Amino acid sequence: MATQQKKSKPYLSTIIYGALSITFYAVVFSNEALVTETFTRGGIYTLYPVGTAFLFSFVHGAFASNLLSVFGLEAKK
């Protein structure tokens, strides 16, 4: 019978990704006019909202995943 190793909980990763997520949201909402003006220009500027969506999705997803791990909620294997 294989012994199960107890994995450490990702407290530091949760804090880092949570802080990044809060920071990104604060920056976007505090610069709302600039973001709206820049993201609606069209052309090559179309990549800005797409890139921003990917960035927010990755950071928030990593935070949520780590937070669930800290709470002990893991997918069944």
Identify the helix (H) or strand (E) that includes residue 74.
Answer: none
Amino acid, single-letter form, for residue 72: G
Strand segments (E) across 1-77: none
- 17-31 pLDDT, tens digit per residue, is 999 999 999 999 999
Q: CA-to-CA distance for 12 and 56, rounded, in angstroms?
A: 19
Cut 0.75: pTM above it: yes
- Evaluate whether 23 touches 59 at the Cβ level (below 8 Å): no
pLDDT at 3: 59
Residue stretches of the chain with pLDDT short of 70: 1-4
